[in-house]
């Protein structure tokens, strides 16, 4: 049996803590927590108090030295600095999206890194996405016709992200297009093909803050794709639908984790094994970590590749620049 993969975490915010807890929940034969570091003393104090069994490390270099794979969950502007340092030290890298805030730097990094890194798009390991892919593979939709993405928020950032509003609600690194829409663009690319032919608009009505509305059309492979997103357009904290239509039927993913297919009478039937987002998250995280172990060992994996993440980021940044 292979030795467990040690995962070190840079960034003790929402995503860093979520991944750390997921690592601790897995079999110690698969992965183990090498330790965590964040420049914020408050964040480190919180993790140290709640998870005293985890090593509190004194810097990014210490995380890299202690790890087989480095999970980067710091703000986007710091991603590539940490990723390059980890790769230079012979570690693998599992990074939050986006890869960078500078597209030229992201392109250079992907060219440098080869296959030693991956990006945390959980749809790569989602049970609901696996169900959608199975329905599509069985030709239940007939000839595919079009895809649409709709995202809506009561406010941005969402309430559970309030502590990160300093960057999540700024044009330079934040906004819902980077944080949320990117997931659905990845899903479209993974299931349907490369994204191209973009026409888009984005609205920034509040000076210095992130976008409040977007609209776009593009192609996913050969299929037309429409995208809309907005803040203040729903009473829900977070509402989203990914819809794929064919000449014989349609399937959709609702609110992150609910796979549904349209019946001949026009009604929607939920997959019998559908899980709520709260139930689906630990399943997807376990599968993501299994992929991280395979990545680190140089084995084939299902994780989002650096190239896929870069392609998504190209579209995201073009939307925001439009």
Side-chain-side CA neighbours of 32 within 13 Å: the count stands at 14
Nearest-angstrom CA–CA distance, 43 and 56: 11
Of 83, 157, 77, nearest to 116 (Cα)? 83
Q: What is the mean pLDDT of each run of 10 residues along the chain (322 residues)?
A: 91 96 96 97 96 97 98 96 98 95 94 93 98 94 97 94 89 94 98 98 96 98 98 92 97 97 94 93 97 97 97 97 93
Q: Residue 1 has what pLDDT? A: 56
pTM of the complete model: 0.95
| Percent of the chain clearing pLDDT 70 (strictly above) | 100
Q: Residue 115 has what pLDDT? A: 86
Q: Residue 236 has what pLDDT? A: 87
Q: Residue 248 has what pLDDT? A: 93
Q: Which domains does the chain have, with CATH numbers?
A: 5-119 (3.40.50.720), 124-275+310-321 (3.30.360.10)
Q: Residue 2 has what pLDDT? A: 81
Q: Residue 114 has what pLDDT? A: 83
CA–CA–CA angle 122, 125, 127 (5° rounding): 110
């Amino acid at each position: 049996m292979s030795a467990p993969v040690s995962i070190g975490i840079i960034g003790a915010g929402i995503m860093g803590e979520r991944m750390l807890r997921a690592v601790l929940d897995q079999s110690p034969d698969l992965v183990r927590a090498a330790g965590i570091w964040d420049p914020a003393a408050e964040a480190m104090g919180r993790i140290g108090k709640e998870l005293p069994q985890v090593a509190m490390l004194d810097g990014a270099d210490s995380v890299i030295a202690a790890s087989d794979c480095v999970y980067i969950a710091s703000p986007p502007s710091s991603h590539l600095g940490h990723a390059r340092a980890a790769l230079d030290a012979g570690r693998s890298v599992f990074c939050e999206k986006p890869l960078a805030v500078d597209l030229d730097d992201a392109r250079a990094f992907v060219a440098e890194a080869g296959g030693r890194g991956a990006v945390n798009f959980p749809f790569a390991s989602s049970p609901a996405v696996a169900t959608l892919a199975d329905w599509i593979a069985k030709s239940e939709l007939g000839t595919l016709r079009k895809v649409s993405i709709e995202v809506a928020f009561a406010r941005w950032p969402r309430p559970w992200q309030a502590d990160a509003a300093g960057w999540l609600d700024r044009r330079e690194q934040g906004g819902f297009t980077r944080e949320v829409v990117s997931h659905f663009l990845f899903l479209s690319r993974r299931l349907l093909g490369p994204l191209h032919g973009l026409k888009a608009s984005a609205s920034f009505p509040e000076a210095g803050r992130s976008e409040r509305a977007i609209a776009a059309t593009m192609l996913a492979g050969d299929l037309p794709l429409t995208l809309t997103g907005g803040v203040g357009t729903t009473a829900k904290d977070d509402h989203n639908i990914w819809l794929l239509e064919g000449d014989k039927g349609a399937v959709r993913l609702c609110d992150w984790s609910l796979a549904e297919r349209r019946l001949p009478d026009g009604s929607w039937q939920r997959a019998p094994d559908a899980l709520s987002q709260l139930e689906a998250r630990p399943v997807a995280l376990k599968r993501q970590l299994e992929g991280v172990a395979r990545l680190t060992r140089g084995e084939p994996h299902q994780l989002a590749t650096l190239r896929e993440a870069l392609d998504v980021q190209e579209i995201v940044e073009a939307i925001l620049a439009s």
